[in-house]
Structure 1
Amino acid sequence: MAILVTGAAGFIGHHVARALLARGEEVIGLDDLNPYYPPQLKRDRLAALAQAPGADRFHFVEADIADHEAVDAAVAGRPVDRIIHLAAQAGVRYSIENPRAYARSNLVGHLNLLELARRLEVGHLVYASSSSVYGGNDALPFSVDDAVARPVSLYAATKGGGELMSESYSHLYRLPMTGLRFFTVYGPWGRPDMAVWLFTDAILAGRPIRVFNGGDMRRDFTYVDDVVAGVLAALDRPPPDDGAPKPGGSRAPHSLYNIGNSRSEQLLTLIALIEAASGREAVRVFEPMQPGDVKDTFADITATTRDLGWSPTTSLERGVATFVPWFRARHGL
């Protein structure tokens, strides 16, 4: 039996697929290699997977999750018993520029994966949600039992919509599902639109960095290895269909968990750590808060640790000290 990993050429998907191969799993990877950021980075991730231990058990299919026929064809003739659904249109700010891309991928695409899971009667569907669903919530840290009815970006609204669709399918068809709300993931093979990458690139090149809200922002930065460990811990523990309330409030076999470092770090702290790892000082350009952004994020991982036996192990200091040398090596700096 195989595990289907959508978004396998993406940042988190690449690392999850590698970890699954390392523990002996058969993996079908699906990705459309879209140009939201340079597709060459995605091809390079796939090339690295092709050299990873267990690569002979990795089968890649280029397909768009919004195309239900392509999704069905990707698994035709291959027995799939679990799905890790990580593919999505990412990015808060881009959702203001190109909102239809988010409806297509995060709503239609998510529905297609739910339909596939229903048809195949998979044993467990683990899917990526986002800390963005907490939107305008003021109480910190964010708990999976908090109300999430005030999204401040379309991206957040579509990720929250994915959670609601998953709840309906789990209720109707008793499909075990787990949604994971990721908090600001960073690390090697990361996304070029994320702060850690953007700041490192600019600082090493001597370009100014844009610091929003005068630097008065905090994020729960989560290292990718910890995220992968959380995904696998969730995969191995499908929620029972026992009628008891799950994290997030469902009485269907559908749980929600925060995957975060459980530390809310000042943005200026991140910049200082990148400066130290780079050996260069940043040129800061302070700008107002951007539309769709939130000031603070902070994950309450009590339920995650209790139910999944998971907790993060990588500090921001150690994570940045690992990422910056990787970035230098990749770019020949």
Structure 2
Amino acid sequence: MRYLVTGVAGFIGSAVAQRLCSMGHEVVGIDNFNSYYDVRLKQARVQRIAHPALLVLDCDLVDQKAIARLFLAHRFDRVIHLAAQAGVRYSLDNPMTYADSNLTGHLTILEGCRRHQIEHLVYASSSSVYGLNRKLPLSTADRVDHPVSLYAATKKANELMAHTYSHLYGIPTTGLRFFTVYGPWGRPDMALFKFTEAMLAGQPIDIYNQGDMLRDFTYIDDIVEGVVRIQDVIPAAQPDWQVETGTPATSSAPYRIYNLGHGQPVKLMDFITALENALGREAVKNYMPMQPGDVYATYAETEDLFDVIGFRPQVSVEAGVQRFVDWYLDYYGQTMQGKVAAH
């Protein structure tokens, strides 16, 4: 089949595109290669795929005419929409960027799917939509009406927009609420990347909420496996579903929401210990209060997803962190390895 993968130069998008190509599919990947973080890392992610079935285009989701031409030219069978402006803290200072990428961009993709009878749209939501919810594990059966960051609000809006298009036009849509994805080729603004960089430089790491936090860390390969499997599970309309008695994760329309996480929350301090073991050095810790937009715990209830895809995440935090460190040292070269050896 022919896929559109948005955010193809991103952490998850590049890994999904690589997997689809290896399975024999054609992939058109788009990205705007913005400067939110090092563009060279984005370019390197794309270059590592190096597959004849992948066509990469520099294209911005907010360019409605360009996206319309894209759909018209390539006649996609399915769309995996992973492009977004990521990051909770960045949204505090740059709110309009999130409106452009995450709202207008999502709408242009929905419009493309509507006009070209796409058989399945899979898109990235986020565990951040749970906001002030405190009942654990976090379940798609629960309402998510109280986000605590603009990023989270845009992701909730994406789910609502997808439902509208599923209802009005019969487009099958599946939203995946990703839980704390980590691993090789990750984003430099994420904790694991920042901790590793600081520790190798002998600098302290900032630990929020005095280290008292839980995260459902999910390794990138497990995320990709979930994405690739769920795109074959196309939602069907459920005419008997009702708002009053049905779960918010489904609908009378061909619409579905799933959590995609490991399902085993890890204490932040245990995650840091795994990194210390992988690097062979102890972190200098700078304990700080909870930051605006953060939540205390993420813990995914995942049984509904695992029931339909027949897969559970396989990679432990210890193994995943070690793989990240091995990649980081290799990617940033022998100079960095020398710094570690010196300590």
Shorter chain as denominator, the TM-score bin is over 0.9
Unmatched runs of 5 consecutive residues or more in structure 2 = 242-246, 337-343
- Which letter does structure 1 place at the counterpart of 2:301? D
In structure 2, the partner of 1:252 is: 253
Instruction: Give the Cα separation in 2 of the matches to 1:232 and 1:58.
Output: 16
Q: Pick from 190, 195, 218: which aligns with 2:191?
A: 195
In structure 2, the partner of 1:63 is: 59
Instruction: Give the Cα separation in 2 of the matches to 1:174 and 1:79.
Output: 18
Instruction: Give the Cα separation in 1 of the matches to 2:48 and 2:309.
Output: 29
The answer to whether the Cα contact below 8 Å between 1:184 and 1:220 also exists between their aligned partners in 2 is yes
The answer to whether the Cα contact below 8 Å between 2:237 and 2:251 also exists between their aligned partners in 1 is no
237-246 vs 152-161, which moves further: 237-246
Instruction: Give the Cα separation in 1 of the matches to 2:313 and 2:85.
Output: 26
1:131-280 superposed matches below 5 A: 131-243=127-239, 245=241, 248-280=249-281
In structure 1, the partner of 2:341 is: none
Q: 1:85 to 1:206 in 2, by over 3 A?
A: same
Shift of 1:307: 1.9
The Cα offsets for residues 78-109 of structure 1, whole Å up to 9 and x where unpaired, read as 22110000000000000001000001111100
Secondary structure of the structure 2 residue equivalent to 1:36: coil
The Cα offsets for residues 36-71 of structure 1, whole Å up to 9 and x where unpaired, read as 111111011111112xxxx11101110111111121
Shift of 1:207: 1.1
Q: Structure 1 vs Structure 2: percent identity of aligned residues?
A: 51
The answer to whether the Cα contact below 8 Å between 1:304 and 1:311 also exists between their aligned partners in 2 is no
The answer to whether the Cα contact below 8 Å between 1:27 and 1:58 also exists between their aligned partners in 2 is yes
In structure 1, the partner of 2:12 is: 12
Unmatched runs of 5 consecutive residues or more in structure 1 = none
- Which letter does structure 2 place at the counterpart of 1:285? N
Instruction: Give the Cα separation in 2 of the matches to 1:11 and 1:48.
Output: 12
In structure 1, the partner of 2:110 is: 114
1:88-107 superposed matches below 5 A: 88-107=84-103
The Cα offsets for residues 250-287 of structure 1, whole Å up to 9 and x where unpaired, read as 22111000000101111101111000000011000011
Instruction: Give the Cα separation in 2 of the matches to 1:71 and 1:189.
Output: 27
The answer to whether the Cα contact below 8 Å between 2:143 and 2:248 also exists between their aligned partners in 1 is no
The answer to whether the Cα contact below 8 Å between 1:202 and 1:209 also exists between their aligned partners in 2 is yes
Secondary structure of the structure 2 residue equivalent to 1:74: helix
Instruction: Give the Cα separation in 1 of the matches to 2:309 and 2:114.
Output: 24
Aligned residues: 329
- Which letter does structure 2 place at the counterpart of 1:235? Q
The answer to whether the Cα contact below 8 Å between 1:214 and 1:288 also exists between their aligned partners in 2 is yes
Instruction: Please tell me whether residue 314 in structure 1 is matched to residue 315 in structure 2.
Output: yes
Instruction: Give the Cα separation in 1 of the matches to 2:161 and 2:332.
Output: 41
Alignment root-mean-square deviation, CA: 1.1
Shift of 1:243: 2.5
Shift of 1:116: 0.4
Shift of 1:196: 1.0
TM-score, normalised to structure 2's length? 0.94
Instruction: Give the Cα separation in 2 of the matches to 1:68 and 1:144.
Output: 32
Instruction: Please tell me whether residue 46 in structure 1 is matched to residue 46 in structure 2.
Output: yes
Instruction: Give the Cα separation in 2 of the matches to 1:311 and 1:106.
Output: 29
In structure 2, the partner of 1:35 is: 35
Instruction: Give the Cα separation in 2 of the matches to 1:77 and 1:172.
Output: 25
Shift of 1:231: 0.3
Runs of 4+ in 1 over 2 A off after TM superposition: 73-77, 241-247
Instruction: Give the Cα separation in 2 of the matches to 1:310 and 1:34.
Output: 34
Secondary structure of the structure 2 residue equivalent to 1:241: coil
314-323 vs 84-93, which moves further: 314-323
Secondary structure of the structure 1 residue equivalent to 2:281: coil
The Cα offsets for residues 285-329 of structure 1, whole Å up to 9 and x where unpaired, read as 011111000010000001101122231111111111111111111
